[in-house]
C-alpha cells in the first residue's frame, strides 16, 4: 500500500498517493487550475507557466504540474498574486496569436478563448506587429496545421514521442520563431492523428474531417462507446440533435483507452446518418419491393416462422449488437421457440488477434465477448470465436434471421455476404445500415437502431462492460432496437 499524502487546495482537503502532483490531485478533484501544456496522459513539460499556484509559506509561485504534493501543504489558486500571474500568463500566450477566432474551428472549445473569459486582462497590451508563420499545412492523416495559432505547448510533440512513438513532429528554431512541424516534405503516418486535434489546446491542429463543417456550440455531445473494434474506447459522440446529423467522435477518458482513440474509430459516426440508414420495413413479392409498417412486417415474419417451424429456423448473428439485445433475442428464439441452429457471422478476412500496440484490435466487432457469453448461456452455437457464415448458408434453413453487422466500414465482405444471403429461401435482414438496398430481392428487411440510439452494453476485449447510457433520439420514426423488435415479434406467438 503506497503512502498517502494529505494536503489542501483552497482549503479543500485532499488525500492522494505519494508522488501525486498538485495538478493531478486538482484534476481528480475537479478543481480548476488553468493550464495549456499539462495533459493527464502525457509527461510533464512545465512550459506554458500558466498553472502557477501559491504554496503557503514559500516565496515564489510554483507550477502545479511539477509540484509534488507533500504532507500538510496548503495550495492557493485564487489569491490576487496568483490571479495576476494567470492574467499575464494568458497575455503572453496571446502576444503572437493571430486572434482569428471567427474562422477557427477550435472556437468554442479553445483554451485561449475559455481562459480569456475567466482570467483575461480584457485589454491587450500588445500593439506591435506579430511574428508571422506558415498556415493551413497538410501534415498528414486528418490534420491541418496552423503554426501561427500554435502556442508551443508541446503536447503534440510529446504525444508523438510517448504514445505513437513515431516522433514525427518537432519544434524547430528557437525563441518566438520556434515553430512546430513535421520534417519538411514528410507527413504524420500513424492512425492516431486526430488525437492531436483533441489535445491541441488551441486551433493549431484542426481536423480535415470536421474543418469548417459546424460551429461546435450547435452540437450536442453524449457519452458513448466506440463500436469500431473490441477495445471499446469511451467516447463522446457529437450530433446536431434537430437534424439528427452526426459530426464527430472524440475520446473520453476511460479505463480501456486512457485518453485516446484511433482515427478509424473517429469515423464510426458516419453510418449513423440518415443517408446510409435502413429506414423502412419491406418485403419482396415476385421481385417487387413493398414497404410495409412494422406491425405488418413482424406479423408476416411470425407467420413465416410458424409456417416452417422452429427446427427450420436458423439465426445468423454478427457481433455488433449489445448484450441486452442478444439476451432478448436468444431468450425468445432459443429459450421460447427452441431454435437450435445459431451461427456466428464474422468478417472472413479478419485477423482476430491483431493489435497495433496502442488501441486498435483486429477484432473489429464491438461485442464479440458479449455474444460468446450469451451463446454459452443458452448452450447454442459454436463456443469458439469464428466465422460460420458458410455453414449457415449451406445448412439451408427455410428461414434465417440475420443480425446484419451494424458498421459496413468494419466488415469489408458485407456486400458479398448479403448477396449470398438474398439468394437463399427466406432471410429476414435486421439491419442498421441500408447496404441491403443495393441488392434487389431481399425477402424481408427490418430496420433497427444504431449504437447511438439505444441503451445497453458491450463486453470488450478485456471482458469489461462499456455502457451506452445516453442515447440520441433517432430521426427514423418508430425504429426499435433488436431487443424491442424481438419483444414485439414475440407478441405474435
202 vs 380, which CB is nearer to another protein?
A: 202
DSSP H or E segment with residue 308: helix 294-308
Which residues are within 8 A (CB) of 268 and not within 5 positions of it... i.e. 6 or more apart? 226, 227, 228, 249, 407, 409
Burial of 349 per CB tally in 10 Å (0-12, 13-18, 19+): exposed
Q: Which range, of 42-50, 358-366, 455-463, 481-489, touches another protein by CB under 8 A? A: 42-50
Closest approach of another protein to the CB of residue 36, in Å: 8
Q: Which of 24, 35, 42, 49 binds another protein (CB under 8 A)?
A: 49
Helix/strand/coil percentages in the chain, nearest 5: 30, 20, 50
**Would you count residue 465 as binding another protein (CB under 8 A)?**
no
128 vs 285, which CB is nearer to another protein?
A: 128
Interface of this chain with another protein, residues 359 to 418, rule: CB under 8 A:
none
314: number of CA atoms within 13 Å, CB side? 24
The Cα–Cα gap between 36 and 200 comes to 9
Q: Which of 11, 57, 80, 175 binds another protein (CB under 8 A)?
A: 175
**Would you count residue 44 as binding another protein (CB under 8 A)?**
yes
179 vs 373, which CB is nearer to another protein?
A: 179
Closest approach of another protein to the CB of residue 72, in Å: 19
Question: Residues binding another protein: what is the number (CB under 8 A)?
Answer: 44
Closest approach of another protein to the CB of residue 106, in Å: 18
65 vs 219, which CB is nearer to another protein?
A: 65
DSSP symbol at 333: I
Query: Nearest-CA neighbor of 432 among 459, 452, 415?
Result: 452
Q: Which of 24, 77, 96, 366 binds another protein (CB under 8 A)?
A: 96
Interface of this chain with another protein, residues 415 to 434, rule: CB under 8 A:
none
Say if CB 241 and CB 377 are below 8 A apart.
no
The Cα–Cα gap between 435 and 416 comes to 11
Interface of this chain with another protein, residues 198 to 217, rule: CB under 8 A:
none
**Would you count residue 46 as binding another protein (CB under 8 A)?**
yes
**Would you count residue 482 as binding another protein (CB under 8 A)?**
no
186 vs 336, which CB is nearer to another protein?
A: 186
Interface of this chain with another protein, residues 105 to 164, rule: CB under 8 A:
125-129, 131, 151-152
**Would you count residue 48 as binding another protein (CB under 8 A)?**
yes
Q: Which residue has the cell 494567470?
A: 86
Q: Which residue has the cell 497590451?
A: 125
The Cα–Cα gap between 398 and 430 comes to 17
Q: Which of 29, 88, 187, 292 binds another protein (CB under 8 A)?
A: 88
Say if CB 235 and CB 243 are below 8 A apart.
no
**Would you count residue 22 as binding another protein (CB under 8 A)?**
no
95 vs 409, which CB is nearer to another protein?
A: 95
The Cα–Cα gap between 376 and 385 comes to 11
Say if CB 317 and CB 361 are below 8 A apart.
no
**Would you count residue 184 as binding another protein (CB under 8 A)?**
yes
**What Cα–Cα distance (Å) separates residue 420 from each residue in 281, 296, 369, 389, 392?**
20, 26, 26, 10, 11
The Cα–Cα gap between 321 and 222 comes to 19
183 vs 212, which CB is nearer to another protein?
A: 183
H helices of 74-215, where? 80-94, 111-119, 155-162, 194-199
**Would you count residue 85 as binding another protein (CB under 8 A)?**
yes
**Would you count residue 463 as binding another protein (CB under 8 A)?**
no
Burial of 215 per CB tally in 10 Å (0-12, 13-18, 19+): exposed
32 vs 186, which CB is nearer to another protein?
A: 186
Q: Which of 6, 172, 253, 376 binds another protein (CB under 8 A)?
A: 172
Please give the radius of gyration of the chain, using alpha carbons only, rounded to the nearest integer.
Answer: 27
Q: Which of 54, 93, 149, 155 binds another protein (CB under 8 A)?
A: 93
Contact footprint for another protein (CB under 8 A): 44-50, 52, 60-61, 66, 68, 85, 88-89, 91-93, 95-96, 125-129, 131, 151-152, 167-178, 182-184, 186
Amino acid at each position: 500500500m503506497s503512502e498517502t499524502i494529505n494536503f489542501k487546495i483552497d482549503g479543500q482537503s485532499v488525500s492522494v498517493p505519494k508522488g501525486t502532483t498538485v495538478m493531478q490531485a486538482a484534476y481528480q478533484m475537479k478543481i480548476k487550475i488553468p493550464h495549456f501544456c499539462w495533459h493527464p496522459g502525457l509527461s510533464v513539460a512545465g512550459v506554458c507557466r500558466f498553472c502557477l499556484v501559491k504554496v503557503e509559506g514559500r516565496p515564489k509561485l510554483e507550477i502545479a504540474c511539477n509540484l509534488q504534493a507533500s504532507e500538510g501543504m496548503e495550495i492557493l489558486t485564487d489569491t490576487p498574486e496568483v490571479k495576476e500571474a494567470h492574467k499575464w500568463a494568458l497575455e503572453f500566450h496571446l502576444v503572437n496569436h493571430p486572434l482569428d477566432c471567427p474562422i477557427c474551428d477550435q472556437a468554442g472549445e479553445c483554451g485561449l478563448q475559455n481562459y480569456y473569459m475567466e482570467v483575461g486582462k480584457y485589454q491587450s497590451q500588445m500593439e506591435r506587429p506579430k511574428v508571422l508563420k506558415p498556415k493551413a499545412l497538410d501534415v498528414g492523416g486528418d490534420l491541418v496545421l496552423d503554426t501561427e495559432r500554435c502556442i508551443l505547448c508541446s503536447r503534440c510533440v510529446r504525444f508523438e514521442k510517448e504514445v505513437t512513438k513515431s516522433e514525427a513532429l518537432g519544434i524547430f528554431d528557437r525563441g518566438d520563431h520556434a515553430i512546430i512541424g513535421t520534417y519538411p516534405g514528410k507527413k504524420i503516418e500513424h492512425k492516431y492523428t486526430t488525437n492531436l486535434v483533441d489535445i491541441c489546446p488551441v486551433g493549431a491542429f484542426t481536423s480535415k474531417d470536421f474543418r469548417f463543417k459546424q460551429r461546435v456550440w450547435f452540437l450536442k455531445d453524449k457519452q458513448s462507446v466506440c463500436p469500431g473494434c473490441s477495445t471499446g474506447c469511451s467516447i463522446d459522440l457529437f450530433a446536431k440533435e434537430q437534424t439528427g446529423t452526426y459530426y464527430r467522435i472524440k475520446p473520453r477518458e476511460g479505463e480501456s483507452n486512457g485518453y485516446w482513440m484511433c482515427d478509424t474509430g473517429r469515423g464510426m459516426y458516419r453510418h449513423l446518418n440518415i443517408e446510409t440508414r435502413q429506414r423502412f420495413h419491406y418485403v419482396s413479392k415476385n421481385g417487387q419491393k413493398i414497404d410495409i409498417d412494422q406491425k405488418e412486417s413482424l406479423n408476416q415474419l411470425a407467420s413465416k416462422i410458424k409456417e416452417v417451424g422452429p427446427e427450420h429456423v436458423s439465426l445468423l448473428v454478427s457481433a455488433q449488437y449489445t448484450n441486452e439485445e442478444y439476451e432478448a433475442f436468444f431468450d425468445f428464439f432459443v429459450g421460447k421457440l427452441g431454435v437450435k441452429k445459431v451461427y456466428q457471422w464474422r468478417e472472413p478476412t479478419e485477423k482476430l488477434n491483431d493489435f497495433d500496440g496502442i488501441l486498435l484490435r483486429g477484432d473489429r466487432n464491438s461485442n464479440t465477448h458479449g455474444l460468446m457469453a450469451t451463446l454459452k448461456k443458452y448452450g447454442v452455437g459454436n463456443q469458439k470465436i469464428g466465422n460460420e457464415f458458410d455453414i449457415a448458408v449451406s445448412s439451408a434453413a427455410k428461414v434465417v434471421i440475420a443480425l446484419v453487422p451494424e458498421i459496413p466500414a468494419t466488415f469489408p465482405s458485407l456486400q458479398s455476404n448479403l448477396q449470398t444471403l438474398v439468394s437463399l429461401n427466406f432471410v429476414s435482414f435486421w439491419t442498421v445500415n441500408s447496404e441491403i438496398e443495393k441488392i434487389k430481392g431481399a425477402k424481408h428487411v427490418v430496420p433497427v437502431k444504431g449504437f447511438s440510439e439505444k441503451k445497453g452494453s458491450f463486453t470488450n476485449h478485456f471482458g469489461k462492460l462499456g455502457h451506452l447510457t445516453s442515447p440520441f433520439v433517432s430521426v427514423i420514426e418508430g425504429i426499435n432496437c433488436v431487443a424491442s423488435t424481438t419483444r414485439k415479434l414475440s407478441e405474435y406467438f
